[in-house]
Structure 1
């Protein structure tokens, strides 16, 4: 094991970030959840927030939010209280979503941890000024990596650790095919945790509706790092950076040095 590789996904010291020129990130999302707020009764907060963000997020769309319900009829959707406000950049690579109980930001053009967190914190500060939430109930940051290049997939066993590879490249006799293999892991600690999903998917299959499928076999590494403690909104910066660091620790444990080189390690 090289000095830069971890024996554990949760080391005692933060992992120094390595920038990748061709990082396989297809989506990064951060979200805070908050209790129902009296200040958000009506739509004035939505309008004021949209105006406050208009210089960077000039495109707006409003709609109805839904709850996913599991019942005897299977998976159904029911209208939820309040609507959804989505704000987008001109190129639509960044989206901010405000509902009656959450504020999130997502991007398909990840600029690095520092800039991503700064963009979200700017939106949070404006929201806190307008709505005045007394606390956040949950804070989370999610990183979704996807590899779909056939040549890179063939080399997967040298790009990720054996513990993460699983049965993705298990040799099979003629006539047999592994259509998919998925691993869903939940790590918990006091006040938070990390959910890590990874595995091989066949063409046109996705793990959830927020991630469009691709028309080729692919391998995903989906990391959701979160805190469930009541959080003072003024301490969001520290919490968000800690959660992003935990997700990155796990990512660096999961991948090899060759992975970093393959995706354009910047020295």
Structure 2
């Protein structure tokens, strides 16, 4: 079963390359109008490096005269970026969202602790009325070389719903230049899961030419959530992320990553 409950594990050779949590909220113009000095001071211990840049946003399309689409250019938005000393943790904030991401994920409890600290300071300073979308994204890049599995095919490591044509016995995966699955599925309790799965190169293969198998799961709840309910929603999204990953991998891959059960 793809989305059944699974035991949690911590992997000695984890394929995770990035974990991102983004929360959207009704526009807070103060974030755009002035430098976030109070917030910057509040997070400086964990995110000492700060930059801000203007980013162009897509135009807004509305109904014009006669029902014809009308394209309305939008003003640029300031993206405030805060980085940890080692550049492995990043915090982004605009007038519409706040996001925390890491390139050094260990386990959910550690990530949630970092996130809780940031959100507590954000809520204290900016007082959002609620959060309109809560999202959690896990990006995995599975390397057969790093796991000592170069003698196996993706068909041996990834379950068939995620590998498409690569699972056919008369298809030589070395001859397939591109094969990807993109799915948007509604799960229980209003949660949606966007999946991207398939072989790919990290950063275009400039530094590493080995094709990795990308398992990218973005699970989100689009609903008005009061600030005090966000931790419970994130716990729910994390459980769905665990289901997605374990439902996608074969036992051979699970064992090769060096699993250790996590006690709840």
Which of 105, 111, 114 is the equivalent residue of 2:106?
111
Q: Which runs of 5+ in 2 are unaligned?
A: 62-72
Q: Give the match for residue 4 of structure 1.
A: none
- Deviation at residue 186 of structure 1 after TM alignment: 1.0
- Asked if the contact 1:137–1:230 (Cα under 8 Å) also holds between the matched residues in 2, the reply is yes
- Asked if the contact 2:59–2:74 (Cα under 8 Å) also holds between the matched residues in 1, the reply is no
Q: Pick the structure with more helix per residue.
A: 2
Q: 1:149 to 1:65 in 2, by over 3 A?
A: same
* Structure 1 vs Structure 2 CA RMSD: 2.6
- Asked if the contact 1:168–1:200 (Cα under 8 Å) also holds between the matched residues in 2, the reply is no
Q: Give the match for residue 69 of structure 2.
A: none
Q: Give the match for residue 7 of structure 2.
A: 16
Q: Give the match for residue 201 of structure 1.
A: 200
> Is residue 47 from structure 1 mapped to residue 37 from structure 2 by the alignment?
yes
> Is residue 26 from structure 1 mapped to residue 17 from structure 2 by the alignment?
yes
Q: Which runs of 5+ in 1 are unaligned?
A: 1-6, 72-77, 207-211
Q: Which runs of 4+ in 1 moved over 6 A?
A: none
The TM-score with structure 2 as length reference comes to 0.83
The farther-off stretch of 61-70 and 98-107 is 61-70
Which of 174, 177, 181 is the equivalent residue of 2:175?
177
Q: Give the match for residue 164 of structure 1.
A: 162
The farther-off stretch of 181-190 and 99-108 is 181-190
- Asked if the contact 1:121–1:236 (Cα under 8 Å) also holds between the matched residues in 2, the reply is no
Q: Deviation per CA, 1:162-190, whole angstroms, max 9, x where unpaired?
A: 2222223656689x821010001111145
Q: Give the match for residue 121 of structure 1.
A: 116
The farther-off stretch of 125-134 and 152-161 is 152-161
- Deviation at residue 232 of structure 1 after TM alignment: 0.4
Q: Distance in 2 between matches of 1:8 and 1:171?
A: 22
